Amino acid sequence: MTPAGTMTLWRRVFLPFAAGYYFSYLLRTVNAVIAPELTRELGLSAADLGLLTSTYFFTFAAFQVPLGMLLDRYGPRRVEAALLLFAAAGCALFALGQNLAQLGAARALIGLGVSACLMASFKSFHQWFAAERQPSLVGTIMVAGGLGALTSSVPLELVLPAVGWRGVFWAVAGLGVLVAALVFTVPDHAAGIASETLGAAWRGVVQVFRSPVFWRYAPQNCITVGGFMAVQGLWAVPWLMTTSGYTRAVAAQHLFLMSVAMLVGYLGIAILTPALSRRGVKPGLLFAAGVVLGLACAALILFDFGPTQLLWVLYGFAASSGNLAYPLLTAAFPAHLAGRVNTAYNLMAFVGAFSVQWGFGAVVDLARAAGNDPTSSFRVAFAVLTTLQAAAFAWYGWAGRQRSAASGDGIC
């Protein structure tokens, strides 16, 4: 493909989907900064706050299987553009909400509306770009998500006193409509679009979930990637304010720097992965190294050992490697299953994010009820999460050794 053709693809295909993922990640993490306002205005407990925020993940996860079928049948352009309008409506309803039930319903609608943003991107990339470009494209689209996370940290904290959390959601609702219109301009592509019956589409879903390759990675995505999403999306700021005694502004700065580090990691993946692969450093090695670094940082954060800001920066940097499994896992399946493979895998991450985001708050409340002070209660919850993540990585390693004679997964 000529340079002009490549630039046209980036402008017409990549940039609209990048805008969608920016929008999705902005909404995923926005509650971390507005959490004190929501708690004070609505009188929420930690479990209430976790449940409210995690309804995004619940509907997001619940729609992943039908989403994969829709992407493989109708294509990414139509599906994502339509769903983004639901997200915009959810933002408007959140701005109008007066109680936990109303805000929870609005947050659930937002989760449904942005459920296709990353998966539609992957489907479109699989259609328009060569296989060797996929890992770097994943890293690049994640940069857009990282920019969304950055926006919902210090910049949001700065504008919040002027417009309030309701004003923020009105602005984001308008942004959602604009992004939907932009995604709708993406051209269609016939590759990987299958005119299947519902039964045939469902058999493809079953094929994915029965794959041993899929189940090697699923627990890792559920607990480690989902757990990081839950921490970044809600619990990082309350943790820093409670265990370190920081103000919200200082805690938001930590969240901002963590997001910057994650963004740097995504850029590194986008730029360096092709060159490293040519030198024998496979993406699976980068994936595993990132998990190990993340676990080490989590343990040091838990025990308050080392410079707090540096540990959170490294924690965010390590998280950038988690999405390397998507294109490599997709490569192990036929092209017409790409949407279903990615959404099935994504389902695991969002089941984990929902469970951890809610469960973390529930553990904090239980620890407090048992007589622990707030700092100790938060540490108990973080310890449970870190232990589960270590167990998921141990399963990943064991399953890899069990399948070491087979090279079909192509990941390690």
Q: What percentage of the chain exceeds 70 in pLDDT?
A: 93
Q: Which pLDDT belongs to residue 408?
A: 46
Query: Smallest Cα–Cα separation from 28: which of 153, 121, 139, 119?
Result: 153
Whole-number mean pLDDT of the chain? 84
Compare 195 and 15 and report the one with higher pLDDT: 15
Give pLDDT tens digits for 149-180. 778 777 888 888 888 888 989 999 999 999 99
Q: What is the pLDDT of residues 263-322, one digit of tens each?
A: 888 888 778 777 777 787 777 788 889 999 999 999 999 998 889 899 999 999 999 888
Please state, in angstroms and rounded to a whole number, the distance separating the CA atoms of residues 276 and 338. 25
Q: Residue 235: pLDDT band by 50, 70, 90 thresholds?
A: confident
Mean pLDDT, residues 343-367: 88
pTM for this predicted structure: 0.71
At residue 6, the pLDDT reads 64
Q: How far apart are CA 270 and CA 288, in angstroms?
A: 17
Among 51-55, 105-109, 212-216, 309-313, the minimum mean pLDDT is found in: 51-55
pLDDT at 405: 45
Distance, in Å, from the CA atom of 260 to the CA atom of 331, rounded to the nearest integer, reads 30
Cβ contact 137:118 at 8 Å = no
Block residue for tokens 């504008």: 159
d(CA 131, CA 376): 48
pLDDT of 393 reads 93
End-to-end CA distance of the chain: 30
pLDDT given for residue 409 in this prediction: 43
Q: How far is C-alpha 157 from the chain's CA centre? A: 21
Which pLDDT does position 410 carry in this prediction? 43
What is the reported pLDDT for 403? 66
On the question of pLDDT at 90 being above 90, the answer is yes
**Which distant-in-sequence residues (6+ apart) come within 8 Å of 251 by Cβ?**
236, 237, 240, 241, 244
